[in-house]
Amino acid sequence: MNEKVMLIDVSKCTACRGCQVACKQWNRLPAEKTQQRGTHQNPPDLTPATWNLVRFTEIPLREGGVRWLFRKDNCMHCEDAACQRACPVPGCIFKTAEGAVVIDTEKCIGCEYCVNVCPFEIPRFDSATKKVYKCTLCWDRIGNGQIPACAKTCGPGAVTFGPKEKMIAQAYARAKALGGDATVYGDKFVKGTHVMYVLPEKVRMYEKLTINPSVPVSVYLWKDFLKPVSVLAIGAALVGTFFHYIIKGPKRPEEGGE
Amino acid sequence: MTNHWNDIANADVILIMGGNPAENHPISFRWVDKAMVKGAKLICVDPRFTRSAAKAHIYAALRSGTDIAFLGGMIKYILDNNLIQKEYVVEYTNAAFLVDEKFDFQDGLFSGYDAKGRKYDRTTWKYQMDAKGIPKMDKTLQNPNCIYQLLQKHYSRYNLDLVSKITGTPKDDLLKVYKGYTETHKPDKVGTILYAMGWTQHTVGVQNIRAMAIIQLLLGNMGMAGGGVNALRGESNVQGGTDHALLFHIIPGYNPMPRATDKTLADFLERNTPKTQDPKSLNWWKNRPKYIVSLLKAMYGANATKENDFGYSWFPKLDEGQNASWLILFDQMAKGKFKGFFAWGQNPACSSANAGKVRKAMETLDWMVNVNLFDNETGSFWKGPGTDPSKIKTEVFMLPCAASFEKEGSITNSSRLMQWRYKAINPPGQAKPDLDIMHALYQKVRKLYKEKGGAYPEPILNLSWNYGPKGPDGTIKHPDPHFVAKEINGYTAKDIEVEDAKTKVKTVVAKAGEQLGSFAFLQDDGSTTSGCWIYCGSYTERGNMAARRGKADPTGIGLYPGWAWCWPVNRRIIYNRASVTWEGKPWDPKRAVIWWDGSKWQGDVPDGPQPAGDIYPFIMVPEGHARLFAAGLADGPFPEHYEPLECPIEKNLMSSQKLNPAVRLFGEPGIGAGADKYLTCDPRFPLVCSTYRVTEHWQTGVMTRWTPWLVELEPQMFVELSKELAKERGIKNGERVVVKSARGEVDAKAIVTERFKPFKIADQTVHQVGIPWHYGWVTPPDGGDSANLLTPTIGDPNTMIPESKAFMVNIEKKGGK
Amino acid sequence: MAKPKNLILSSTVFERVVHWVLAGSCLFLFLTGFGLMFHSLSFMANFFPGGHYIMKLLHNIVGIIFGIAFLFALIAWGKDTLYFDEDDKKWFRVMGGYLWEVEKVPEAGKFNAGQKMFFMVLFLFWFIMMGTGIFMWFPIFPAEITRWLYVLHALGVVVLGGFLVIHFYLGTYGNPGTFQVMGHGYVTKGWAKKHRPKWLRDVEAGRRSV
Ligand code: HEM
Ligand code: SF4
Ligand code: SF4
Ligand code: SF4
Ligand code: SF4
């Protein structure tokens, strides 16, 4: 495997939002009509046309002063991708050799299964096209030896991209150097993600960052239990009735009852 | 920048003050981050908690316009705690120099003040000279007239209590910053300062930077890798713009603009060529005549001869005492003194302080030519808000021009790095590169002068204009930027020989007709040309140096001497001779910029090729020493705190001079006194305000407001204010409000934030707010208008840069009190 | 249609139409649903122009038809099915005589206890399938809730799947003659005597028509 990881070192991110624009440029996504709503975060959330959003969180500190945290939010490209498990259309959500989890929008039927099972609330449904969209890890670039558009544009070097093992090592080294509450986010759940963070603060300090994410239990119940069981149930019923027929036999009306 | 962008990575402490590089120079943070990864500390001082502050180890808030008080406190802290790099200060700065005994400073005024003219007679601001004409020194620094003692006396008043009362910065925070930054007084610790318009756009703009320069000198941080005083330029090519004399008072290469009273070239050169008697002072500007004559030769070519003073009389001149700076130009325009106006690549209807006045001023014009990428508020001023198009006589011409990637040419960035750029795509429609537009314009003007004559046709007709290949008919069809670049560099008309100091053997270093390799070869006899002497060496016989893309880093400190080309003479860190001892040993061997290996210099191109110990390091001043005491400025040799034109407190706590005594006042105070009205300490405008930029837009937004992706990020004019103020005013986050000043008002959306906090100033609570200046009524439709409708017409006495970083406003809810 | 000799009408036209709309839509839902659930069955999408998207859309629309049809089913059979009486309890004790030999199967009315139970289950799962299906189609609830609808819907498939197979068997091979009830609607008296004696008495006594 040629697995790659995008490492987002939040401690270096200055919220310049170059990545947000680069993503739109590379993926030819339209601008959205927005309003100043009392924050620099805009659009307010991920949308079908915004696959990469820099989130701004202001946290007043008890000891005085303020923290202003920035986080680039996009698909985590899970190794165990709940979205892919859920998708009803074969080949619609597929994984590349690099580990990118990609939606083939041609195939997407807009059932929104992926939207509702993603532990990171990533995919977004477009009611106009009736399809779902999200970050592709620029699979069309990385498959050709390029790095993702957002990583390419990131001036401060907060977003880097490279071989999985190397990036994980880099992430841990950086978190260690930062010290304090710094952690690495990404390698310890859903069998590892192909987008990882170095977080200088605790996970809960960041807007919309899932604490202890996992593939939802409901997905296992649904796809790994009930799905096979439904065949079993029908099969069992068929077998049961068959044996009933040959052992007990049908119930015939009494002769001459007319 | 004395240093360069990559060099930030070498710093141990980075002070961000008067700037916000994370937002306005986003790429700079690549180097800031690199430094921090290596363990550097980042300090950010700003009225508002910015995106830069978000990354800082230490943040301190200060009220807009009080930087000198803040830095003065730091100077006092350094002196009190003896944190100077002693050897550096004694040997390389003018600390030991003795100043005229009549020099004085009393209650905010330096000696020689003329209250009526609002200016200083600077005759007492000078060094004492010995019999040989060399400045007197006391290297023990004990003489009461030595600059070190004067400095100590001047800043003794900047104690923590007073500074804290003026700036509103809690004393703890002041100490944290002072302590953190002055760590770099150790020879092997280096600090850098990154500043921008937050320091310059004040009535004490130049002195803000002076104050920091003093600190850098005391700590021994000038000339060092990871040190210096670094102005982060706000536009990719604004450094190039100033180098090539976009300002009224200088001509290319930082030479002074001739005045009408300089009747002959000799007069002009005599007045402007500094002299020294000190053999150890290289006094670089002694070469000025060579640069001026070479410039005149570049301008007038064969028409410039020794006999006609190289065409000096055709060269434009200022009247004696004339100030033709931006604010004055528009003041004159408002008074109907202009017929026409070329608005070339600019948008004064939004960018100029007191933009309302500027918009009105443009109504007096007969014509305007607006050269820009897009329509803007300047070209469309006649249909702006509150304007009746039927009453405007001005005829406006729009000339669409090519964007940077639609033409070839060079830009010079803050690192003084001249980089060649190539054309990526053709300009759209009728848009043309600026050079083509200028070329066409010149041909037309020249033709008119030639055919119809005119008041004084010689300056136009004698101009040499060889900016492209000539056709058989002698005309240039397409101007070519390479021709311009070559002329800027310059060539020689005759062989140039240089004599070896030891062997006395002469060798020819440049043959007649060749491009010159260095300004060292420029002559004052008319045999050489150079359009801008500092760029001599940029386009040589070896080709276009700015197009080089070498990635080698032989010193390991990121100088990359083979990448593009940097003025002067590809020197990446200027004043680098101050980074070594007299013997040529680096103060900081880990990050050596240059070193003397016993026979020659290694590392960067040194400031002067002379052997170690032969010359003083600061070669650009006649005394060869960096100036803690600088006599050349309009408002004093030492920075002193004065309040902004509009401020929230009745009294300057430092002295009874409230406003910088040397600034030029426009109009009179009080509402109703014309467009230049201002109001200070007026209860109607109780809030301190500053303008700024955000990452997502650029300048007045003419480029970015037409880019939907960027409008999506920052769609509307906003005002940031503290939770406390919002509560007082009943303003909710995201609500529409009106921001008003004595001059105008703008609508904005409120951003109620933790990132602004009320200040305690002189025991009263003062609120500060901030607004971006990117918006304008042309687009986007619901975007709002320019913050500069609020800013006052007042400028720094040295540069006339407007004071848009500190003025007074009020905020009201939209539609009522 | 003229009344055939010796036969007795066991269901109205209304009942039969409702049944077949219900059955047809249900079968369609099963097939298309499985086409969505199993990638191995995704070839089914090829039967629809527009592929998976149309298959899913038809599943949703037919779901609505199914839902409405069931309302009519309630009108048709609700009063005969949505209760148990004493005989039904006894019926359960011997499991209707389907599983082991019994002396005498307790007498049933129009529907025996097993059929009633089937209908009740169908009622419950009609509710579940409609309730989940509609909000899977239009997910207005938060993801945390919606993802459990998928589970319930699949649970419905399991239960209904089993029940429908048994229902099919009992309605055809398991009980010869029964298919007629939903076919032309006429059954023999002998069949009626065996399967719904109480009902037969009621009809013969004129207490009910069908
Ligand atoms: C007897 C009745 C029904 C059966 C047997 C049935 C069967 C199925 C099956 C097997 C699936 C695939 C589930 C999976 O992928 O795990 C499914 C999905 C779905 N069903 Fe049903 N279903 C029935 C009724 C309904 C009804 C009444 C509706 C509502 C209109 C409905 C709406 C849906 C929806 C929205 C989906 C999600 C898949 C998609 O949107 O393509 N179903 N159904
Ligand atoms: S480009 Fe880099 S620094 Fe800028 S917002 Fe994105 S991640 Fe942050
Ligand atoms: S983050 Fe969500 S959308 Fe992305 S791969 Fe994981 S489950 Fe799928
Ligand atoms: S919405 Fe599209 S991508 Fe998501 S699960 Fe459904 S078919 Fe797959
Ligand atoms: S990887 Fe590509 S698609 Fe994903 S956020 Fe970055 S630029 Fe956008």
Chains in contact with A via at least 3 Cβ–Cβ pairs below 8 Å: B, C
Pairing of strands B395-400, B367-372: parallel
**For residue B629, pLDDT beyond 80:** yes
Residues of chain B with pLDDT > 90, as a percent, come to 92
Pick the CATH number of C7-204 from 3.40.50.2300, 3.30.200.20, 1.20.950.20, 3.40.50.300: 1.20.950.20
CB contact under 8 A, B713 and A21: yes
- Mean pLDDT confidence for A195-209: 96
Whether the per-residue pLDDT at B407 is higher than 70: the answer is yes
Alpha-carbon gap, residue B323 to B329, rounded angstroms:
9
Chain C: partners with 3+ C-beta pairs within 8 Å: A
Q: How far apart are CA C76 and CA C108, in angstroms?
A: 18
State whether B749 and A20 contact (CB < 8 Å): no
Hey, where are the domains in chain A? Answer: 4-205, 216-258
- B199 and B19 Cβ atoms separated by less than 8 Å: yes
Q: How many CB atoms lie within 10 A of CB A32?
A: 18
Q: Is A135 in the pocket of ligand 5 (CB under 6 A)?
A: yes
pLDDT at B102 over 60: yes
Whether the pLDDT of residue A256 is over 60: the answer is: no
The answer on pLDDT for C5 being more than 80 is no
Number of other CB atoms surrounding residue B140 within 10 Å:
10
Helix, strand, coil fractions of chain A, as percent rounded to 5? 30, 20, 50
What is the structure's pLDDT at A253? Answer: 61
Dump the DSSP string for B46-108.
-SS--TTGGG-SEEE---TT-HHHHHHHHHHHHHHTT-S-HHHHHHHBGGGBBB-TT--EETT
Mean pLDDT of chain B: 95
Residue B564 in contact with residue B419, Cβ under 8 Å? yes
Q: How far is the CA of A55 from the centre of ligand 3 (A)?
A: 18
H/E/C letters for each residue in B614-645? CCCCCCCCCCCCECCCCCCCCCCCCCCCCECC
Ligand 3-lining residues (CB < 6 angstroms): A 75-78, 81-83, 101, 118, 120, 122-123, 134
Nearest CA-CA partner of A122 in A3, A208, A214, A244: A208
Please work out whether the CB of residue A48 comes within 6 Å of at least one atom of ligand 5: no
Q: Which residues have CB under 8 Å from B575's CB, separation 6+?
A: B2, B222, B223, B228, B607, B617, B618, B626
B694 touches chain A (CB under 8 A): yes
Let me know if chains C and A touch, i.e. at least 3 Cβ pairs under 8 angstroms. Answer: yes
What percent of chain B is modeled with pLDDT above 70?
Answer: 99
Q: In the prediction, which pLDDT does B672 show?
A: 43
Q: Would you say A31 and A18 are in contact if contact means Cβ atoms under 8 Å apart?
A: no
Q: Whose CA is nearest to atom 5 of ligand 5?
A: A52
- How far apart are alpha carbons B361 and B338 in whole angstroms? 9
Instruction: Specify whether the CB–CB gap between C76 and C16 falls below 8 A.
Output: no
What is the spatial distance between Cα B157 and Cα B79, in angstroms, rounded to a whole number? 12
Determine whether the interchain pair A35/B749 forms a contact, defined as Cβ–Cβ distance below 8 Å.
yes
- Residue of A11, A14, A152 to test ligand 2 pocket, by largest number of atoms within 8 Å of CB: A14
Residue B816 pLDDT level (bands cut at 50, 70, 90) = low
Structure token digits, residue B217: 């000198």
Position B280 pLDDT exceeds 50: yes
Which residue type does A44 have?
Answer: P
**What's the mean pLDDT in B728-732?**
96
Q: What integer pLDDT is reported at residue B251 of this predicted model?
A: 96
Residue A251 pLDDT > 80: no
Q: How many CA atoms lie within 13 A of A131 on its CB side?
A: 14
CA of A46 to the centre of ligand 5 (A): 12
**The dihedral sign for the CA sequence B314, B320, B326, B332:** negative
β-strands B109-110, B105-106 pairing: antiparallel
Share of chain A above pLDDT 70, in %: 97
Does B28 score more than 70 pLDDT? yes
What band does B543 get if pLDDT is binned at 50, 70 and 90?
very high
Q: Which of A79, A108, A111 is nearest to A92 (CA)?
A: A108
pLDDT at A257: 37
> In sequence order, which residues have a C-beta less than 8 Å from that of residue A28 and are 6 or more positions away?
none
Atom of ligand 5 nearest to the CA of A151: 6
C150 in A contact zone (CB under 8 Å): yes
Mean pLDDT of B56-77: 98
Report whether pLDDT(C93) > 90: no
Q: What is the pLDDT of residues C42-92, one digit of tens each?
A: 898 999 998 999 999 999 999 999 999 999 999 999 998 998 988 889 888
Interchain contact A34–B (C-beta under 8 A): yes
How many CB contacts within 8 angstroms connect chain A with chain C? Answer: 128
Q: Which of B723, B727, B713 lies closest to B783 in space, CA to CA?
A: B713
Give the mutation candidate from B25, B59, B171, B709 for the A interface (greatest A CB count, under 10 A).
B709
Helix/strand/coil (H, E, C) string of B575-624?
Answer: CHHHHECCCCCECCHHHCCEEECCCCEEECCCCCCCCCCCCCCCCCCCCC
Give yes or no for a cis peptide into B428 (omega within 30° of 0): no
CATH architecture of the domain formed by A4-205:
2-Layer Sandwich (3.30)
**What domains lie within chain B, and their CATH numbers?**
5-234 (3.40.228.10), 239-319+484-546 (no CATH), 326-411+424-461 (3.40.50.740), 687-813 (2.40.40.20)
Ligand 5 geometric centre to CA of C137 (Å): 29
User: By the 8 A CB rule, do A135 and A73 touch?
Assistant: no
Q: Which of A142-151, B229-238, B684-693 has the lowest mean pLDDT?
A: B229-238
Predicted confidence at residue A255, as pLDDT, reads 47
Cβ atoms within 10 A of the Cβ of B600, count?
A: 10
Closest CA to B181 of B1, B19, B60, B20: B60
**Dist CA B804 CA B807 (whole Å):** 7
List pLDDT tens digits, range A175-201. Answer: 999 999 999 999 999 999 999 999 999
pTM for the whole structure: 0.92
| Chain C residues in contact with A90 (beta carbon < 8 A) | 39, 42
Sign of CA dihedral B37, B39, B45, B49: positive
> What count of residues does chain A have?
258
Touching B: A residues 120-179, CB under 8 Å: 155-158, 177
In this prediction, residue C4 carries a pLDDT of 65
In terms of Cα–Cα distance, which of B321, B328, B331, B258 is closest to B119? B321
- For position B621, what pLDDT does the model report? 94
pLDDT beyond 60 at A258: no
- Model pLDDT, residue B485: 97
CB within 8 Å: C154 and A109: no
Going by alpha carbons, the residue nearest to atom 43 of ligand 1 is C33
Buried b (16+ CB within 10 A) or exposed e, B233-252: bbeebbbbeebbbebbbebb
As a whole number, mean pLDDT of residues B420-436 equals 97
